[in-house]
Amino acid sequence: MTLVADAEPTACPHAFTVLIPRGLRGSVEGLPPQTRQALYSELFRMASLAHQEEGPPSMPRRACLELEGCHATVEVDTSRSRLTLAGLTRIRVLG
């Protein structure tokens, strides 16, 4: 029998929020479906990786994503368990 006191303490999972500000939602919705899905997938992948980082929470940092047809800027704030889409620029091909 295992007593509660004998069990190893487990880390309580914390939610990591992915925030798309209201001002960028229209731009995200205007992306082609495949690009929008790739953006969502990458945001949640980044949030998952940030959640798994070990050590004390660090200062917010920015990351850039290059997806087909757009460039995204993301702010990762591990101290607040939050990932924010900070900018989205559609790339136009001249031709």
Residue 73 lies in a domain: yes
CB-based burial, 7-36: b 16+ in 10 Å, e otherwise: eeeeeeeeebebbbeeebeebbeebeeebb
The domain that contains 65 carries what CATH number? 3.30.2310.20
Query: Is position 58 within any domain?
Result: yes
pLDDT: which is higher, 54 or 2: 54
pLDDT tens-digit series, residues 12-56? 456 788 999 999 999 999 999 999 999 999 999 998 888 777 666
- Could you say which DSSP state residue 56 is in? S
Domain-located, residue 1: no
Q: Which residue has the tokens 């990458």?
A: 42
pLDDT, tens only, 48-80: 888 777 666 678 899 999 998 899 999 999 888
Quick check: is 39 in a domain? yes
User: The domain containing residue 40 runs over which residues?
Assistant: 15-90
Is 3 within a domain?
A: no
Q: Would the pLDDT of 88 be above 90?
A: yes
State pTM to two decimals.
0.76
User: Domain total for the chain?
Assistant: 1
CA–CA separation, 75 and 85 (whole Å):
6
pLDDT at position 90 over 70? yes
